[in-house]
Amino acid sequence: MAANEELLQDVVIKFAGDSGDGMQLTGQQFTNNTALLGIDLATFPDFPAEIRAPIGTLPGVSGFQLHFSSNRVYTPGDIADVLVAMNAAALKVNLKSIKPGGKIIANIDGFDAKNLRLANYPEGINPLEDGSLDSYELIKIDVTKLTRESLKDFTDLGTKERDRAKNMFVLGFIYWMYNRSLENTIEFLKEKFGKKETILQSNIKVLQAGYNYGDTTETFTTRFRVEKAKMNAGTYRSIMGNQALAYGLIAASEKSNLPLFLGSYPITPASDILHELSRHKSFGVRTFQAEDEIAAITSAIGASYGGLFGVTTTSGPGMALKAEAMGLAVMLEIPLLIINVQRGGPSTGLPTKTEQSDLMQAYYGRNGECPMPIIASSTPSDCFDVAFEAVRIAVQHMTPVILLSDGFIANGAEPWKFPKADDLPNIEVAFKTGLAEGEDKFLPYLRDEKLARPWAIPGTAGLEHRIGGLEKQNITGNVNYEPENHQLMVNIRQEKVDRIAQYIPEQKLDSGPEKGKVLVIGWGSTYGAIKSAVLELQAEGHAVSHAHIRYVRPFPKNLGELMQQFDKVLIPEINNGQLIKIIRDQYLIDAQGYHKIMGVPITKQELVDVITKML
Amino acid sequence: MSTSTTITPITLTAKDFATDQEVRWCPGCGDYSILAQVQKIMPGIGVPKENIVIISGIGCSSRFPYYMNTYGMHSIHGRATAIASGLKASRPELSVWIVSGDGDSMSIGGNHTIHMLRRNFDVNLLVFNNQIYGLTKGQYSPTSEENKVTKSTPMGSIDHPFNPLALALGADATFIARSMDRDPKHLQMVLTRSHQHKGSSFVEIYQNCNIFNDGAFEVFTEKSTKADEALFLEHGKPLIFGVNQDKGIKIEGLRPVVVNLSDGVNADDLWIHDEHDFYKAQILTRMFDDTKTEGHFPRPFGVFYQTERACYEDVMAMQIDETIATKGRGNLDKLLRGKEVWEIA
Ligand code: SF4
């Protein structure tokens, strides 16, 4: 039976199930399939902190949200048009984020008495039966039963193994619904199960069964299609934030001819950077899983001291442990990159949830006057550029740099028009190779116009010298406790960071008029939500603009002037107001904040409402 | 300075390893002797000065790098071992020396010490053990004896002390040795052996802090008691000590016993030191009695144990070389492109 086809512009779909149901994989497969068609997209995986929370319970729900569109996409979407709920808990957790009239595809088997009880539904209540979902389009499928049936010929597979393919049934069905080809997923399965023929064939069988189910039953009389988005011409791929950070580091290593050394201790949500980099030994990348966060950063300091590029990756709690070593790097004035993929805090906080609450820590969280440049990534693909730029700043200005990302960007994916290696700029690195003519003694703290000191690495004859964490005498680098010298050195270290403003681009508006009513300033992962909200209001004719700050310390030198052109400034953040304090402090402007700190991104609609009130 | 006209490679002397920085330890501190011995052996180890790096943590001993005309870093408390690990992983050709104290290496930096040892980076860790916190003006340390009265323990310390060499052996160090500030020749020998060893060397050096813990090791260092209290280990030689070289150590079952050679015990029946015997090394590290107790064992000095094990930095480099040999050098365009791409016209 040939169903009609309906053209849609914009779809938000959420796959939700128990953390053992394979929803992340299902979502990723559908994402890749969507991306390959040139449709624009953004994703938001949302999983529990526990590796295996009790099956069927509310804390065990794992979700994957995908927003795809023939228009440009900047966020994973505020609410879902379609929810796939593999069990009762998945429905309960996500019910409030489905559009009125939206579709709910429910796996009947996941709503049996046991699952309903685990999801805390009152005795005898089944939302699939009691009419409570009447305002939605409810599609009930017995996924478990149909999966088992389609595998009845696979006699050497046990029930458990058969049931594991459930997610393929759902994926096949969704592929049918959106009129897609199964090819990329079949290829993926071949690669994944290459040698396990039975498992491979059973998965393909179930995938096709799901597709055929859509075809043969009359679940929908229409199938849906979303066309290619109008994106800039070029070759694209899909990229996730942590992966882009790793690639940015490798690219910077290649372009600077500095081998990369990563010292890292596993921590959510940063570990994937360690995993990714450890796979790229062919680029000479050295990855060192240290015994703790402190050894992770100090081993990286050792590497940079030796003339490699030292990086350490972590999240908030790890940042706290690294603070003293960051101070050492500031004193030593050597290149180093500290990446903080922020998560909910304080303490262990919300390990798998997103937050922007470590900005103050990055700015001020060390003993002494200890300024460090800070750079923040705003989208998954932006992580590549930001990592590359962070390395450039670190080596050219001889300073440790902090890069802030967050859990939302780290695991989110988007299409990326990746650069060609030749188009990336070289990062010039000048090691000092010996005493210059007329120079009779090496002066390790003699500075250039950027106030950067020479990078003289062990193995260079004639430049033997000693550095350390005690206050340095200006120019000679010898230990010095004199009052005037300390004042001078504190000033120099500050000025050195401030001067970076002369070597970074000016702040540009992301969109909107150069003068107007409201300027929305953001940093980090709020980019998509702010952009979408501001574009919507601009389309309604409002004088609203958006500036997104990548260089958080020092700020671009025109930032103050840029803000002056607007009647009001709004700074939304996923924290209790951190950037806003710094901006108010530095520019004495009456900026207004919007703060939400619930472990989830700020939505477009919230911002539209807030900005509208300011107009 | 040589006035010879024949062309010889530049030979350095201990003086070439001194810096123009004024040495700031208290007069009489054991650190002076250790510095002198390190400077003395350096010209002879066959490593160009620019390839030597000394990394220290915090504490009196950690001022060391400032006085050595090599590359050096005076880092932060307890982390010298971790910094050295990163440096050695990055630059295996360098000769890396870590100078640390009992507090630096076994209290605040204990974690990094044991992990560095098990990974077996080819570095030398010199622990200046003075059994006290000197720089902070006299609190007990993790190696101070029990019941020690210090500024922070007016009623005596409660902590049981670490046995540094047993700790190092427990972390599978591949070279452990003990020496003392007051025996220059012995210290030079141990330092040279430490350098020659391929792998992590743990060298405990008894160092007198004459200000806050004077005489902590005097039974081992003073002429009148040294011969009876210190047992000098030599590979292949029997364990003999005493003013008249008439006492020895024998193994009975799994226990060492002190015997008197004048009682007709033959030197051949004594414990013959074997640096490669892990089990005997464990017994040696446990000969750690309080010298005030009746019938205590003498304290061993010298190289207790040495073995070969792959060094972290070598295997790390090997993995990279192997990958490049089999897959070729990484191609950035290929990496960025990944597996699945699509075109937008
Ligand atoms: S306090 Fe003790 S260890 Fe420190 S320099 Fe003085 S004598 Fe030496």
The tally of domains found in chain A comes to: 3
Domain locations in chain B? 14-216+310-316
Q: What is the CATH number of the domain that holds A583?
A: 3.40.50.920
Reported as a single tens digit per residue, the pLDDT across A83-134 is 999 999 999 999 999 999 999 999 999 999 999 999 999 999 999 999 999 9
Query: Are A189 and A332 within one domain?
Result: no
Distance CA A227, CA A1 (A): 23
Q: To test ligand 1's pocket by mutation, which of B26, B67, B208 has the most ligand atoms within 8 angstroms of CB?
A: B26
pLDDT at A22 over 70: yes
Give the rounded percent of residues in chain A with a pLDDT score beyond 90. 92
In this structure, the dihedral spanned by the alpha carbons of residues A354, A360, A365 and A371, taken in order and rounded to 10 degrees, is 120
- Tell which residue, A367, A346, A335, has the closest CA to residue A256: A335
Query: Are A413 and A368 within one domain?
Result: yes
Mean pLDDT of chain B: 95
Give me the mean pLDDT over the B159-183 stretch: 98
Which residue on chain B is closest to A279 by alpha carbon?
B323
Question: Is A510 within the bounds of a domain?
Answer: no
Task: Nearest by CB to A458, from B91, B332, B343: name it.
Answer: B91
* Structure confidence at residue B265 (pLDDT): 87
Choosing among 3.30.470.10, 3.30.1130.10, 3.30.390.50, 3.40.50.970, the CATH entry for B14-216+310-316 is 3.40.50.970
Q: At which of A226, A245, A274 does a domain end?
A: A226
Query: Are A86 and A219 within one domain?
Result: yes
- Give per-residue burial for A563-589: e unless 16+ CB within 10 Å, then b: beebebbbbbbbbebbbbbbbbeebee
Give me the mean pLDDT over the A217-232 stretch: 87
| Three-state secondary-structure class, residue B188 | helix
Helix axes B31-41, B184-196, angle to 10 degrees: 50
* Structure confidence at residue B3 (pLDDT): 46
pLDDT at B261 over 50: yes
Q: At which of A226, A251, A275 does a domain end?
A: A226
Concatenated DSSP letters for A167-234? HHHHHHHHHHHTT--SHHHHHHHHHHHTT-HHHHHHHHHHHHHHHHHHHHS-S-SEEEEEPPP---SE
Reported as a single tens digit per residue, the pLDDT across B22-55 is 999 999 999 999 999 999 999 999 999 999 999 9
Using the structure block, give the residue that is written with the tokens 């003339």.
Answer: A307
With CB atoms and an 8 Å threshold, state whether B344 touches A250: no
* Structure confidence at residue A53 (pLDDT): 77
Put simply, the chain B residues between 287 and 316 with a CB less than 8 A from any chain A CB are 316
pLDDT at B9 over 70: no
Give me the mean pLDDT over the A137-160 stretch: 92
pLDDT at A59 over 50: yes
Helix axes A293-305, B110-119, angle to 10 degrees: 60
Give the rounded percent of residues in chain A with a pLDDT score beyond 70. 99
Q: From ligand 1's centre to the CA of B24, what distance in Å?
A: 9
Give me the mean pLDDT over the B312-338 stretch: 98
* Structure confidence at residue B221 (pLDDT): 96
| Structure tokens, A121 | 């539904």
Enumerate residues 6+ apart whose C-beta is below 8 A from A589.
A563, A569, A583
pLDDT at A607 over 70: yes
- Tell which residue, A543, A528, A547, has the closest CA to residue A604: A528
| Three-state secondary-structure class, residue A457 | coil
Residue A135 structural domain: 4-226
Query: Are A481 and A534 within one domain?
Result: no
Question: Is A356 within the bounds of a domain?
Answer: yes
| Atom 2 of ligand 1: nearest residue by CA position | B209
Using the structure block, give the residue that is written with the tokens 């960071």.
Answer: A497
Top residue of B73, B94, B111, B311 to mutate, by most chain A CBs within 10 Å, is B73
Query: Are A214 and A249 within one domain?
Result: no
Q: From ligand 1's centre to the CA of B29, what distance in Å?
A: 5
Reported as a single tens digit per residue, the pLDDT across A229-268 is 998 999 999 999 999 999 999 999 999 999 999 999 999 9
The full length of chain A comes to 615
Query: Are A350 and A246 within one domain?
Result: yes
Q: At which of A201, A226, A251 does a domain end?
A: A226
CA-based max dimension of chain B: 99
Task: Give the confidence band of B4 by pLDDT, cuts at 50, 70, 90.
Answer: very low
* Structure confidence at residue A215 (pLDDT): 87
Distance CA A23, CA A29 (A): 10
Task: Give the confidence band of A2 by pLDDT, cuts at 50, 70, 90.
Answer: low
Reported as a single tens digit per residue, the pLDDT across B50-59 is 999 999 999 9
Enumerate the residues of chain A whose CB falls inside 8 A of the CB of residue B52: 458
* Structure confidence at residue B5 (pLDDT): 52
**pTM (2 d.p.):** 0.94
